[in-house]
Every structure is written in C-alpha cells, then in structure tokens.
A and B are shown apart, each in its own frame.
Chain A
Amino acid sequence: TQLLEQSPQFLSIQEGENLTVYCNSSSVFSSLQWYRQEPGEGPVLLVTVVTGGEVKKLKRLTFQFGDARKDSSLHITAAQPGDTGLYLCAGSPWGTGKLIFGQGTTLQVKP
C-alpha cells in the first residue's frame, strides 16, 4: 500500500510568517499534486509536479518535487489570513489514474 505522510497536521501562525509543509513517501509517484480546501467546498488544485527535482512557484507559494519522486514540499512566504485552509498533497501511483492523499495540513493564519 502506497502512503503519503504529510506534516505538520496543524499549523497556526501569525500573518507575515513563512511556513513549509512536507509530504513524504517510501514509494515513487508519477506526479504529485497540492490541493487547497476551504470549509464546505471540494479541494481545488494548486499545482502538479511531474519531474523529479522540479520547482514551481505560484505567487507566494513554492512547490518542490524530490529528485527521487517520493516527496514534495509546499513553502508559503509571508502568509496571509486568506491562506487559511486545509492543504492536501496527493500522489498518483504509476498507471492507475487514482490519487492517494496525505493526511492534510490545517493552516490558520492569524491577522
């Protein structure tokens, strides 16, 4: 069974601070995605990383895919209250079309 370990599970920070969320596995994935979910809504895709060592930036968010395609990180610079939400990493085992989700990180950014 392929698992994704996401950490930390809870994070409460002040506006303006930086943070990093980690997503680790012992298995190799064809791609990794990061989603953000707000209460009462479904997850919304933020980014997909497909190449080992890849780095993608989305405004204040930086996503990395590990060289071995087993881990990923999400770094947020100068967090804002609007970043509050549940962040989920998800990986696709090769050739399945399915997604396996990490446990999720609940982020609270206080003004």
Chain B
Amino acid sequence: SAVISQKPSRDICQRGTSLTIQCQVDSQVTMMFWYRQQPGQSLTLIATANQGSEATYESGFVIDKFPISRPNLTFSTLTVSNMSPEDSSIYLCSVDRGIDEQYFGPGTRLTVT
C-alpha cells in the first residue's frame, strides 16, 4: 500500500491569491491524479500528472488556473491560481495502485473569502 500526505490540510485564502498544495507519496508511482470535491459530494478529476511530461487536464480545467508540477516519482504540486470563492473546495491527490485502483491522500480543504 502507499501512504500519501498532503500539505496544507486546510487553508483560508483571500480572493485573487494563489495556493500551492503538495502531495507526497512514500513510494515511487507512475501516475498521480488531482481531484476536486465539494463537501459531501463526489470527486471531479482535474488532471493526471506523470513524471517527465506535461499534466493532462480534463475538460473544464486549464493549466493557467491549475498549474501542476511533477518533479519526481514521489511528489506533485497543484496550484490554484487567482482564486475566487467558487474555488472553495476539497482538493485530493491520488496515486495509481494498479488494476485501475487508486490510493487517496487526506485532502486539502480550501476556503476562499
């Protein structure tokens, strides 16, 4: 199994600013994923991050708004840029564990005021 940590666990930010969320895995993984989740609701995939290549974004998400870095096989960051209250959400990273299964981090709860 993989142990995934995220930093920060929560933050309150002002509109117009940016926040970078870190995701650290205790083992090397090929694919990492970033999701957004409104409290009590389902997960929406933002992008897939593979080491050594540009992240692949899902429809409705763009690199200028959600730049992603994947510098090595155990780490990734997601930045939420120029934030507005609509960006208030829980952001989760996950890693592929094979057979289409994923391990998830504990999430970062973001509130934008």
Contact = CB atoms under 8 A, between A and B. Distances in A.
B42 A88 contact: yes
Given A43-B43, A98-B33, A98-B45, A30 B104 contact: no
Taking residues whose C-beta sits less than 8 angstroms from the other chain, chain A's interface range is 20 to 34
Contact of A41 (B31, B41, B102, B106): B106
Taking residues whose C-beta sits less than 8 angstroms from the other chain, chain B's interface range is 20 to 34
A88 B43 contact: yes
B64 interface: no
A50 B40 CA distance: 27
B107 A42 contact: yes
Given A40-B107, A98-B33, A31 B45 contact: no
Nearest to B30: A97
A100 to B, nearest CB: 8
A48 interface: yes
A99 interface: yes
A13 B59 CA distance: 37
Interface string A11-24: 00000000000000
Nearest to B9: A40
B104 A42 contact: yes
5 contacts: A42-B106, A42-B107, A101-B44, A103-B42, A104-B42
Q: Which 6 A-B pairs have the closest CB atoms?
A: A42-B104, A92-B100, A104-B42, A101-B43, A31-B100, A101-B42
